Amino acid sequence: MITIDYTDRRPLYEQIADKLAKLMLSGVFPPNEKLPSVRSLATELSVNPNTISRAYSELEREGYIYSVVGRGSFVSGTDAIIDGEKAKLTEQIQEEIKKAVSLGILREELEKILDEEYKEG
């Protein structure tokens, strides 16, 4: 479900939180769905439970999930926020692509990046 990329410079908890967020946004974990328990996900990823706990804390702080002692962690509905972020990010990307064009970066270069990032991962 999640694979850890050890070439990634970011801390594990951040990387795991990001991938979980992506899974939630892609619908693998719909709103109110129960996430894997801290201990089970730690075992699955061969990582310390504290690391998962921190990843979940970050996700909770960002509004993606909510956790209840004794019950588990659950996906919260964040669709409105996400739509806003999408629009903002899209504008940002367009600005950077404008800079790329003026610097003479070829479209093929950017297509190559799209191939990488939209590969599955």
Residues that bind a second copy (CB under 8 A): 18-19, 21-22, 25-26, 82, 85-86, 89-90, 92-94, 96-105, 107, 109-111, 113-114, 116-118
Structural tokens at position 78:
């964040």
65 beta partners: 75
72 beta partners: 68
Using CB distances below 5 to 8 A depending on partner kind, what does residue 56 bind out of DNA, a second copy, none? Answer: DNA
Give the DSSP per-residue string, 60-84.
HHTTSEEEETTTEEEE---HHHHHH
Shortest reach from residue 86's CB to DNA, in Å: 23
Shortest reach from residue 84's CB to DNA, in Å: 16
Which residues lie near DNA (CB under 7 A)?
Answer: 11-14, 35, 37-40, 46-51, 53-54, 56-57, 60, 67-73
